[in-house]
């Protein structure tokens, strides 16, 4: 812009200089012409008045010396006197414009180019009272000649102007541009720039406001999207067609164990998982893959221009739950088959009359025992299924001591059979819970204390307050549980001593029910056991709200 302004300034200076020179020369030319004209008029008037007094004007004129060329022409156009040469051979002058005009109007002017280049001649003719015409003429330089004459000056002036313009252009341009450069583009209306720029600055200001509003909207949308992506439990990754990461939300970073910024890197570089890259190469589809010990369900869909959108879901727990359900079903069918096979075997023998009458009683009691086992098993399975489904019965304030006392009464017969002493001590402690479930949990613990014990053994149930939390503890001095089995005894169908469990009518589900019951009551379980010395299991309930 600066250069352009500078160039324009120099050009304007040059043109102005040239124009001025031409105009001045033109004015000079007019002035000189007018000067000459009035000189000629004055000479003609003076000579004319002198000639009037002369009898022989030709003789009078011939005796004088004139700065201008003087001609005397008769009324018929004959040249009577010519100061510059002899009149001999001169043609009739009636055809001359100035002579013709003088004869008709009294005076006449004419300008004719002379034979000399660059010179013109101005003629003034005056009709005398005698009828003759006195003509005076003088030479004058033509306009072109004058121009050529002052050409040197014109050029010198133009050069001077250009030099001046060049010298002034830079500071002038800088002064001109300074307020424009000083405009604050963020707040254009606050700038003290040229008035002519006000419409542009207003427009700029309104555009600024529009851009700011759009930016605000975009930022809000961006933040909203970030919040949605950030709060998603599923991992979301967007890739371009070269598998370069465009977006990866927080859940995806967590699931894929990505710590550094993944944007702009390839998926292989980010995850180091060949399994995932194979899935990506295969294109759209769904599949499970393992990464860092977790099972991830991967859904891949192709988006615009060959890019990909990948959704990751952590299905480790779901897979584990499915596996445990599968195992549970297998165990259930196995556990059910054993007593059923026994029952149907004995029943077959009986129905075919292959049993001796004296053995009928024994066989009947075996069928009864196995049927009871089956029943208990089915009841336990139903209980666990209910707990799995989260089916809770009505919650109420329950006294743990009262429940433990009721359980002891229920198990009194079994305890007597096994010669075990069962005692319940402590103070009444209230918890908010499912009475039936609490009863089942405490019964299972006490029953285990009786079953896995020696004749003469003891089971002691203590109900007490630990801090602000109610606690019930079942302690026996029975066979105990070896250390390596302790972490597993709460698993379904897990038995330390299979034959002993079965012999005593155990289903392998008692402690599982205790575990799920504790979970449902937000209670903690503590297990301490030593083989040969006994087992102690505590249920620590949350502080009672009621």
Binding site for ligand ADP (CB under 6 A): 444, 448-449, 452, 476, 478-481, 489, 494-497, 501, 506-512, 535
Residues paired with residue 119 on neighbouring β-strands, in sequence order: 141
The answer to whether 529 and 496 are in contact (CB under 8 A) is no
Q: Which residue do the tokens 């001609």 mark?
A: 71
Q: What is the C-alpha separation between 381 and 308, in angstroms, rounded?
A: 46
Q: How far is the CB of 257 from ligand ADP (least distance, A)?
A: 37
The residue among 108 and 506 lying less far from ligand ADP, judged by its C-beta, is 506
Pick the closer one to ligand ADP by CB: 506 or 517. 506
Q: Do residues 138 and 36 touch, judged by C-beta distance below 8 A? A: yes
507 or 538: whose CB is closer to ligand ADP? 507
Q: Nearer to ligand ADP by C-beta: 71 or 529?
A: 529
HEC-encoded secondary structure of 317-379: HHHHHHHHHHHHHHHHHHHHHHHHHHHHHHHHHHHCCCCCHHHHHHHHHHHHHHHHHHHHHHH
The SS3 assignment for 400 reads helix
In whole angstroms, the minimum distance from the beta carbon of 450 to ligand ADP comes to 9
CB atoms within 10 A of CB 542: 15
Question: Which residue number, 361 or 413, has a Cβ lying nearer to ligand ADP?
Answer: 413
Collapsed DSSP state (helix, strand, coil) of residue 122: strand
Q: Which is nearer to ligand ADP, 426 or 457 (CB)?
A: 457
DSSP 441-466: HHHHHHHHHHHTS-TT-EEEEEEEEE
**d(Cα 466, Cα 473) in Å, to the nearest integer?**
11
Q: Residue 398 Cβ, how far from ligand ADP at the closest point, in Å?
A: 22
Q: How far is the CB of 514 from ligand ADP (least distance, A)?
A: 8
**Is there a contact between 13 and 172 (Cβ–Cβ < 8 Å)?**
no
Tokens representing 287 are: 């599949």
**Tokens coding 406:** 């009721």
Smallest separation (angstroms) from ligand ADP to the CB of 370 = 15
Q: Distance (Å, rounded) from C-alpha 541 to C-alpha 465? A: 10
Least CB distance to ligand ADP at residue 437 (A): 15
At its nearest, how many Å lie between ligand ADP and the CB of residue 489? 4
> Shortest Cβ distance from residue 485 to ligand ADP (Å)?
7
- What is the C-alpha to C-alpha distance for residues 99 and 131, in angstroms, rounded to an integer? 12
Distance (Å, rounded) from C-alpha 432 to C-alpha 546?
A: 7
Query: Which one, 72 or 523, has the nearer CB to ligand ADP?
Result: 523
Least distance to ligand ADP, CB of residue 284, Å: 47
CB nearer ligand ADP, residue 173 or residue 444: 444
Q: What angle do CA 25, 29, 34 make, to 5 degrees?
A: 150
Of 68 and 440, the one with the shorter C-beta distance to ligand ADP is 440
Confirm if 9 and 174 have CB atoms less than 8 A apart: no
CA distance 197 to 148: 46
CB of 495 to ligand ADP, least distance (A): 3
Q: Give me the count of residues in the chain.
A: 546
Q: Give least dist CB 363 to ligand ADP, A.
A: 25
Element (H, E) at 288: strand 285-291
Closer of 188 and 508 to ligand ADP (Cβ): 508
Cα distances (Å, whole numbers) of residue 247 to 215, 229, 266, 291? 21, 10, 12, 20
| Rounded Cα gap, residues 16 and 22, in angstroms | 10
Closer by beta carbon to ligand ADP, 437 or else 489: 489
């Amino acid at each position: 812009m600066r250069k352009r302004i500078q160039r324009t300034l120099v050009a304007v200076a040059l043109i102005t200089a040239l124009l001025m020179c031409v105009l001045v020369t033109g004015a000079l030319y007019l002035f000189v012409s007018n000067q000459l004209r009035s000189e000629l008029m004055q000479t003609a008037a003076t000579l004319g008045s002198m000639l009037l007094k002369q009898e022989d004007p030709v003789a009078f004129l011939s005796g004088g010396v004139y700065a201008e060329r003087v001609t005397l022409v008769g009324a018929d156009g004959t040249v009577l006197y010519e100061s510059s040469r002899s009149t001999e051979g001169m043609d009739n002058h009636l055809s001359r414009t100035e002579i013709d005009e003088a004869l008709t109007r009294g005076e006449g002017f004419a300008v004719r180019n002379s034979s000399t280049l660059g010179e013109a001649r101005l003629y003034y003719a005056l009709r005398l009272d005698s009828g003759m015409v006195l003509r005076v003429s003088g030479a004058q330089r033509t306009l072109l000649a004058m121009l050529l004459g002052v050409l040197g000056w014109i050029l010198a002036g133009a050069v001077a102007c250009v030099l001046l313009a060049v010298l002034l252009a830079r500071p002038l341009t800088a002064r001109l541009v300074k307020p424009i450069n000083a405009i604050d583009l963020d707040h254009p209306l606050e700038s003290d720039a040229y008035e002519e720029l006000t419409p542009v600055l207003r427009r700029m200001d309104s555009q600024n406001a529009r851009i700011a509003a759009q930016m605000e909207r975009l930022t809000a949308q961006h933040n909203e999207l970030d919040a949605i992506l950030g709060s998603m439990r599923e991992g979301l990754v967007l890739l371009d067609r070269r598998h370069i990461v465009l977006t990866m939300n927080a859940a995806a970073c967590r699931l894929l164990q990505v710590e550094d910024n993944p944007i702009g890197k390839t998926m292989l570089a980010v995850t180091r998982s060949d399994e995932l890259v194979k899935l990506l190469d295969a294109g759209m589809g769904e599949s499970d893959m393992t990464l860092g010990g977790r099972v991830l369900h991967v859904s891949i869909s192709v988006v615009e221009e060959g890019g990909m959108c990948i959704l990751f879901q952590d299905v480790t727990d779901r897979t584990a739950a499915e596996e445990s359900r599968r195992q549970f079903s297998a165990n259930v069918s196995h556990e059910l088959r054993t007593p059923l096979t026994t029952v149907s075997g004995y029943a077959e023998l009986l129905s075919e009359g292959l049993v001796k009458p004296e053995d009928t009683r024994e066989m009947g009691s075996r069928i009864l025992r196995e049927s009871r086992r089956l029943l208990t098993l089915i009841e336990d399975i139903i209980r666990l299924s209910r707990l799995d489904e989260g089916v809770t019965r009505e919650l109420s304030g329950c006294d743990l001591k009262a429940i433990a006392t009721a359980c002891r009464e229920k198990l009194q017969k079994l305890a007597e059979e096994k010669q075990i002493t069962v005692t319940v001590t402590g103070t009444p402690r209230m918890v908010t819970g499912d009475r039936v479930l609490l009863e089942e949990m405490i019964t299972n613990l006490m029953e285990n204390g009786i079953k896995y014990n020696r004749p003469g053994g003891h089971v002691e149930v203590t109900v007490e307050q630990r801090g602000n939390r109610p606690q019930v503890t079942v302690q026996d001095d029975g066979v105990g549980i070896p250390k390596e089995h302790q972490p597993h005894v709460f698993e379904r169908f897990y038995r330390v001593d299979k034959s002993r469990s079965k012999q005593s009518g155990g289903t392998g589900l008692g402690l599982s029910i205790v575990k799920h019951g504790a979970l449902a009551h937000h209670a903690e379980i503590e297990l301490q056991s030593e083989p040969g010395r006994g087992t102690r299991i505590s249920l620590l309930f949350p502080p009672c709200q009621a």
